[in-house]
Structure 1
């Protein structure tokens, strides 16, 4: 067998080395040079949010980008790449160079539910990414347009059963945590609800505020401002306790659906193969951000409880959730070819 990079006769050594390096890079064999690692970051970092502006991944991502950029001394630029319930933007980062300049805001719906929902997924959650760390748990909330004939969770169940065709509820996309929560609500209460998927929580919220759909199941992060201003009516949060962001909104358990607890999470990931030194630096700086009182307060206002920890802990949680949600998706019969 001929060697892969045999030097051609008469080719100057410097040209041969350059060609070999280019070929190695093309084959994905070239590691990030040590000098580049030492000088990281030397330019702005791209943070891909795989949903439209306004949802929990976008709002939490912008808070983290602001504070992380301060600590790294380089701007962290949020780049919204929505589509396919988060798959498009997430796959884009999987294929990016593992040099620390492209990150993704991981959402549990995309990372641990989509693998069970989509027949073909353009990435492997545990193999194609380097976990940086979990940002926090996001409280989910069910909201209604003020003109909708529902003022409580009990109203929703009763009205949906009495209405021909039931009631529609929007979410950030098929198979996302809000979608799963809505399906579980149907199973637990017998409510007649029809799911309407969007390309992000922001688009769903725009439609419910505009009266195009009566209900949206989403994260408090996006709905908070609309609820506070009276543009949306909060029916309940599906967390174990009331959210400090909206303390007057009852939990589902308090509203008549006992032991109904479904939260969501967001985290930070990079492409697989990220140099350990850069990965460690990112995890360290992310934890510093999550321990910063100002950043924690901003996240809490969005309904997100900061969860500093290790990259290994984040990977373990993703692995656990992959197993847990597989059973739920199968029971709900959710599948996309």
Structure 2
């Protein structure tokens, strides 16, 4: 089990490995290559939009001449994409977009996690998301609030299930905390990404789902599901009518989460700097920011160091919560 000292050491080690190498030739080489961006969930999801919208703005920058190609590698809660990045060439030709939880909470729940922070170098945060609890036709129309949902779940334990993008994901843990703190027996159903879970809620196969809020927007507009709560510290700008978990009596369920770009750990520092600068510039493009907002994401770039500090903070916050939930990959 990774402890705090090992985690901080890994973060510093990843940065140091890049800083020790300054071959400007590597930067010239990367500009000439076709960059790949791995993303660990299906195409069409909110995070996939981050990868593709940013990739469309990276061609012709100091990082690469050509727009990168996004490769979806869904499964295992995003771990497949990070496993692939770990063994990729450390020359900037391969990046991965990952949710923070794959590196901030997975070390607590997978005793045999095949990667660690020492295998990656932070490049830039891409976008921030909040999660939401939504219900579909299996849940009566009279259920309009989180309090109503908890009461319904207690009265119907056999139907009180919720889907998530995967076991060990932040939405999974939010649902587990909701069950613990409310006394409702909420059964978790893991999926290979958000959209399959949302589709099953819309189709009436499961009662509810907890996923990034933006993945619900088309179905909310079509009146096919109802979002009862979101996980941000404030209400989501794209769902202003939906109160937060905290507003409805569950302050422990405040959780913004980001998608961020990573490179293999030994990628040279000049390449990391070029990639980070190009990604940050792309995220400031109005078309990119507006496009991400339309799917429930707030564009937000960062320096590699800012990303590292944020990841450390998330790691320290989730340790006690994962222990409270009592979930491991073997449980």
Scaled by the length of structure 2, what TM-score is found? Answer: 0.87
Distance 2:152 2:220 in 1: 21
Select the residue among 131, 135, 156 that pairs with 2:126.
Answer: 135
Which residue is 2:303 aligned to?
Answer: 310
Select the residue among 314, 317, 328 that pairs with 1:324.
Answer: 317
Which residue is 1:106 aligned to?
Answer: 98
CA contact (8 A) 2:132 2:230 kept: yes
Distance 1:68 1:145 in 2: 39
Distance 1:53 1:213 in 2: 22
Which residue is 2:84 aligned to?
Answer: 92
Distance 2:149 2:42 in 1: 27
Indicate how the Cα distance of structure 1 residues 257 and 329 shifts in structure 2: closer, same or farther if over 3 A, else same.
Answer: closer
Which 5+ residue runs of structure 1 have no aligned equivalent?
1-30
Task: Please tell me whether Structure 1 or Structure 2 has the larger radius of gyration of its CA atoms.
Answer: 1
Select the residue among 46, 53, 57 that pairs with 1:67.
Answer: 57
Report the Cα offset of residue 166 of structure 1. 4.9
Which residue is 2:277 aligned to?
Answer: 284
Report the Cα offset of residue 67 of structure 1. 2.5
RMSD, aligned α-carbons: 1.9
Q: Is 1:144 the equivalent of 2:135?
A: yes
Indicate how the Cα distance of structure 1 residues 62 and 231 shifts in structure 2: closer, same or farther if over 3 A, else same.
Answer: farther
Distance 1:227 1:101 in 2: 39
Report the Cα offset of residue 61 of structure 1. 1.9
Kindly provide the CA deviation profile for residues 256-300 of structure 1, in whole angstroms up to 9, marking residues without a partner as x.
435641221110001111111111001111111122222112222
Matches within 5 A, 1:258-269: 258=251, 260-269=253-262
Distance 2:173 2:223 in 1: 27
CA contact (8 A) 1:91 1:123 kept: yes
Kindly provide the CA deviation profile for residues 38-82 of structure 1, in whole angstroms up to 9, marking residues without a partner as x.
142223211111112233322222222222346444122111112
Select the residue among 113, 116, 124 that pairs with 2:116.
Answer: 124
CA contact (8 A) 2:57 2:67 kept: no
Give the paired residue count: 306
SS at match of 1:40: helix
Q: Is 1:296 the equivalent of 2:253?
A: no
Distance 1:76 1:107 in 2: 19
Kindly provide the CA deviation profile for residues 6-62 of structure 1, in whole angstroms up to 9, marking residues without a partner as x.
xxxxxxxxxxxxxxxxxxxxxxxxx89753421422232111111122333222222
CA contact (8 A) 2:24 2:270 kept: no
Scaled by the length of structure 1, what TM-score is found? Answer: 0.85
Distance 2:221 2:65 in 1: 35
Moved more, 158-167 or 70-79: 70-79
